[in-house]
Amino acid sequence: MLPQMSFSDVCRSNSGVKLKASAEPPALTREPKSDKQESIMEMGNGCDLFNEMKNNFLSFKKHKYMENLELFQALSKGQAPKFMVIACADSRVCPSNILGFKPGEAFMVRNVANMVPTYESGPSETNAALEFAVNSLEVENILIIGHSCCGGIRALMSMQDEVDSSSFIRSWVIVGKNAKLSTKAAASNLSFDQQCTHCEKESINCSLLNLLTYPWIEEKVKKGELSLHGGYYDFVDCTFEKWTLDYKGSVMEGKNRVVVKNQSFWC
């Protein structure tokens, strides 16, 4: 019977575990591992991941934190970001890496499919972050970033029924139902993949309109104190599209259709 081992014990002996495993005769290595052996090896792999994370942190401390100590000391006293960024939780989409935001420059919230629910939808972590960013931090820009191959949008486009209370994902992505309806109306002749791409961008615009349902956001936009922007990152081709909501034009359209300005394409 194997002795009980703690996670730290496995970390300290991880290299030994690998060495013993590789030294076993071929016939033995083909035999199914016991649950205990599987557990030890999984914990060992976890240690490798955290060792890499540790090295990354120490490198950050040495080359970024210590070399910009004055900046980080100032940030320890408070933050005054110019941007709030709403992005997808997708691991392939990191706004700081893509757009070069430095610490203190952007207040961020990430959720499935980078969606913004309406004011009337009630509390969520996204509108809590909006309230803090707009009313307390007084950001000057809100940027919603969508992206290619979005699983949340694909789930939305695949839904047969509007509500499935047994699925947290379905209950969340239904926030984008207007984008789905617009896509079905405008792109019904396209393939499903092409419809998903269309909806990825349409969903950003629907979320921009949803931002205007928050009274304290619309008031600041109307006064010119806050600008609302959309962005779309295509990580297949590594391109980025950016546009800004034209508030006056959108209001004249009855807030059912986004009118944009200052469009640009970065490639």
- The CATH number of residue 158's host domain is 3.40.1050.10
Residue 198 annotated in ligand binding: no
* Assigned domain for 198 exists: yes
| Angle between helix 192-211 and 177-186 (nearest 10) | 130
* Assigned domain for 118 exists: yes
Q: What is the pLDDT of residue 47?
A: 81
pTM for the full model? Answer: 0.81
Structurally, how many domains does the chain consist of?
Answer: 1
For residue 163, the enclosing domain spans 83-266
Residue 88 annotated in ligand binding: yes
Residue 147 annotated in ligand binding: yes
| Cβ contacts of 242 within 8 Å, gap of 6 or more | 229, 230, 231, 232, 262, 263, 264, 265, 266
* Assigned domain for 28 exists: no
What is d(CA 246, CA 243) in angstroms, rounded to the nearest whole number?
A: 9
Q: In this structure, what token pair is assigned to residue 79?
A: 């933050």
* Assigned domain for 10 exists: no
Partnered with residue 228 across adjacent β-strands are 142
* Assigned domain for 245 exists: yes
- Those residues of the chain that have pLDDT short of 50 are 1-2, 5-8, 10-30
* Assigned domain for 142 exists: yes
Residue 90 annotated in ligand binding: yes
DSSP labels, 113-139 = GG----GGG---HHHHHHHIIIIIS--
pLDDT in tens, 119-165: 999 999 999 999 999 999 999 999 999 999 999 999 999 998 666 66
* Assigned domain for 93 exists: yes
* Assigned domain for 147 exists: yes
